[in-house]
Structure 1
Amino acid sequence: MSAAISADPPSAGETRAGLTLALPALMLFTGVVVLPLAMTVMLSFHDWGQYKGIEPVFILKNWIEIVDDPYYAEMFWRTFRVAALATLITAAFGVPEAYILNRMQGPWKGLFLLVIIGPLLISVVARTLGWALLFGGNNGLANKLLMTLGLIDSPVRFMFTETGMVIALAHAMMPFMVLAVWTALQRLDPQIENAALSLGAGSLTVVRRIVLPQIMPGVLSGAIIVFSLSASAFATPAIIGGRRLKVAATLAYDEFLNTLNWPLGAAVAVLLLIALVLIVVGSNALIERRYQEMFR
């Protein structure tokens, strides 16, 4: 005997109750996110002078300066290049790590999960300062270890380089990639792998033909999170990159607090936000299309 489940639309009272419950969160979101963003966008069209300060006029001078000056193009190119490299490293190491974690049993699984998410409990500034101590110039622990292992003949410069920024960012963002892929692996039926193995497929074939296609949405989701956080990161590029090797976040910070050119700093911040939104929206469209192809 089958029971029909009716999906009646919510009544007017239920709708009003839902809106009433959502109103505090909506007000908080508007006050904390929407209004500051709107004020930042408006500020980016204001004028600024060393002696006259900020003038509330509508001009395009800041945006034209960013577009015309190759210095800003270099800053944004470095920002997205470092974020992309950090994302590739986290994917290369995070996906196998999540796969191994998913196959663990008993207390080892909980222990290694704690090891993975443990760095999230520590301030990113403290973690970055730890990397600064490891890099530490020619006599840093990283160079000493690499030279002891025979991987390098002479010390490699890590501080104040893009290489150091990529390594530190990849370490800081690794838990987000691992957790995203591990969540996707939770929805994977292990019997499918066992069936493929029983039919004669090798382990690498199972991973390449069965596991990877099904967890690819998780990999893409993790890549979106890592790329967005890496491109907008401030503490790690500021400590490892220093004053000269700037990215978009540190550039906006300097414009706000050092040169006091708030409108130009606002324009840099808004442009970074627009670029990240476009990248995230495009990536989400790719993920949705991937899901549709999987379940078609």
Structure 2
Amino acid sequence: MIRPLPPDTTRRRRPNGPLLVAPVTLLFTLLLVVPMALVGMLSLQAFDAASGGVLDVYSWHNYAQIISDPYYHEIFLRTFALAISVTLGTIVLGVPEAWFIFRMSARWRAFFLILTLGPLFISAVVRTLGWSILLDGQGVVAQVLVGLHLVDAPPQMLFSFSAVVVVLVHALVPLMVLSVWTSLQSIDPQMANAAISLGASPLTVWRRIVLPQTAPGILSGSLIVFALSASAFATPALIGGRRLKVVATAAYDEFLHSMNWPMGAAIAVCLLVLNLGTVALYSRVVERRLKRRLGETAA
């Protein structure tokens, strides 16, 4: 009779999941959770304008002021309108651009992909200052418009909502291209050629084949762009100026100009909560509809 071999007790046990992620969790807690908790506690403290100091008194006064003051309503609405406009702009420009690059030959594909990612290699301040020179009343864009007799006088495009949208779209469209590019890797390029050979128009190919396959990339890219646009500081501060204030610049003014740190912390916390809530709601609703749409398309 053959006896079964005893279990190998010398084999090492693999560490469990919580032990593997413990260092990352600890680092995440120290670098993000703890500072945000301190900011949340600071936002509940009172501020004495006479002495210019933070009082050791806790209340919801700062949040009540943000909710009741129309001044902050306008700032938050402008911020989210800016984020939505930039997100739509990056979708309109980034999705076709990613598809055109994907359809290129390997040599030109690498060149244009690096060219598209160029804005990510430049400092945000340097990039924004370059745009401020272009959009100035005496800049290149204004001189070209006057030279072509499209306008009678050099227009002042700085310190406007549209200028901030243009600059942020230029800065964030590479992220949309990267997200869509990742989704395009799962598409066989011959599928489009086969559809065209069967009589489908380019618009039908784009609507029935390309767009459903790139929808997850568009969703993830739009979430990233929206979050970064809503919290952007350098571009609204340099291009929008003092007259076009958004939430990030309002918090900056409270921290460094008014020295009202509790109010600045409350504005930052409100921006974080609204931003996370909007992203979570958008992701949940759009992803659900996307799955239903892809299921109908597959059927």
Q: What is the TM-score normalised by the length of structure 2?
A: 0.89
1:149: Cα distance to partner?
4.0
1:182: Cα distance to partner?
1.3
- 8 Å Cα contact 2:95-2:218 kept in structure 1: yes
Task: Give a deviation string over 1:73-126, Cα, whole Å, max 9, x none.
Answer: 011111111111111111111111111010011311111111111221111111
Give 3-state SS (helix, strand or coil) of 1:110's partner.
Answer: helix
Residue equivalent to 1:86: 86
Looking at structure 1, the residues matched to 13 and 282 of structure 2 have their Cα atoms a distance apart, in angstroms, of 38
Residue equivalent to 2:121: 121
Q: Which amino acid is 1:44 matched to?
A: S
Q: Which structure: larger Rg?
A: 2
Kindly indicate whether residue 63 of structure 2 is the aligned counterpart of residue 70 of structure 1: no
Give 3-state SS (helix, strand or coil) of 1:253's partner.
Answer: helix
Residue equivalent to 2:130: 130
1:195: Cα distance to partner?
2.5
Task: Give a deviation string over 1:173-217, Cα, whole Å, max 9, x none.
Answer: 110111111111111222322221121011111112221122122
- 8 Å Cα contact 1:217-1:291 kept in structure 2: no
- Which residues in structure 2 correspond to 1:148-227 (within 5 Å)? 148-227=147-226
Give 3-state SS (helix, strand or coil) of 1:56's partner.
Answer: strand
- 8 Å Cα contact 2:44-2:61 kept in structure 1: yes
Unpaired stretches in structure 2, ≥5 consecutive residues: 1-11
Residue equivalent to 2:96: 96
Task: Give a deviation string over 1:258-291, Cα, whole Å, max 9, x none.
Answer: 1111111111101100111011111221353223
- 8 Å Cα contact 1:217-1:287 kept in structure 2: no
Decide whether aligned partners of structure 1 residues 153 and 178 sit closer, same or farther in structure 2, where only a CA change above 3 A counts: farther
Residue equivalent to 1:263: 262
Residue equivalent to 1:231: 230
Q: What is the TM-score normalised by the length of structure 1?
A: 0.90
- 8 Å Cα contact 2:135-2:141 kept in structure 1: yes
Looking at structure 2, the residues matched to 140 and 200 of structure 1 have their Cα atoms a distance apart, in angstroms, of 49
Task: Give a deviation string over 1:120-151, Cα, whole Å, max 9, x none.
Answer: 111111100000110122x2111122333454
Count of residue correspondences: 283
Q: Which amino acid is 2:246 matched to?
A: V
- Which residues in structure 2 correspond to 1:45-56 (within 5 Å)? 45-50=44-49, 51=51, 53-56=53-56
1:21: Cα distance to partner?
3.6
Task: Give a deviation string over 1:149-183, Cα, whole Å, max 9, x none.
Answer: 45444433211111111111111111011111111
Looking at structure 2, the residues matched to 153 and 213 of structure 1 have their Cα atoms a distance apart, in angstroms, of 46
- 8 Å Cα contact 2:97-2:177 kept in structure 1: yes
Q: Which amino acid is 2:58 matched to?
A: F
Q: Which amino acid is 1:113 matched to?
A: L
Q: Identity of aligned pairs, percent?
A: 49
Residue equivalent to 1:9: none
Looking at structure 1, the residues matched to 193 and 135 of structure 2 have their Cα atoms a distance apart, in angstroms, of 45
Give 3-state SS (helix, strand or coil) of 1:57's partner.
Answer: strand
Residue equivalent to 1:60: 60
Looking at structure 2, the residues matched to 22 and 53 of structure 1 have their Cα atoms a distance apart, in angstroms, of 41
Give 3-state SS (helix, strand or coil) of 1:245's partner.
Answer: coil
Unpaired stretches in structure 1, ≥5 consecutive residues: 1-11
